[in-house]
Amino acid sequence: MAKDAKQFLYLFRGGADMSKFSPEQMQQTMNKWFAWMGELKSKDKLKAGEPLGDEGCVLSGKRGQTVRDGPFMEGKEEVGGYLIVSAGDLAEATEMAKGCPIYDNGGTVEVRPIEPIPGM
């Protein structure tokens, strides 16, 4: 990572339910994702990322004693995956996110700076 580069988190929300896609539609969509992520990787911008599974739980309350099973939010708000990218600043990270294929299916990308913890 370049000396002045910072890390940013892309949170992917919503988009189409790919389980309802034909195999051809699914392959076309995945090809767009692979092309976009491949471009980020070729520029040494992509650092990590994965889709998230549908199952999980949310802990809350004192010491996490309250546990709720997912799903956590309705379709358009559900976080479906994430990437960690490097960029010089928020403006660059935002510009890079504009190429994401999630917009083709009504989804969103939240771009957030990752703040380093001193001494970690």
Tens digits of per-residue pLDDT, 18-47?
Answer: 778 899 999 999 999 999 999 999 999 999
Q: What sections of 1-120 are H helices per DSSP?
A: 23-42, 90-97
CATH assignment of the domain containing 27: 3.30.70.1060
Tell me whether residue 118 is in a domain: no
pTM of the model: 0.84
Split at pLDDT 50, 70, 90, the class of 107 is very high
Gyration radius of the chain's alpha carbons: 16
Tell me whether residue 119 is in a domain: no
Tell me whether residue 75 is in a domain: yes
Tell me whether residue 31 is in a domain: yes
Q: Which domain holds residue 84?
A: 6-113
DSSP conformation class of 114 = P
Tell me whether residue 18 is in a domain: yes
Count how many domains the chain has.
1
Tell me whether residue 120 is in a domain: no
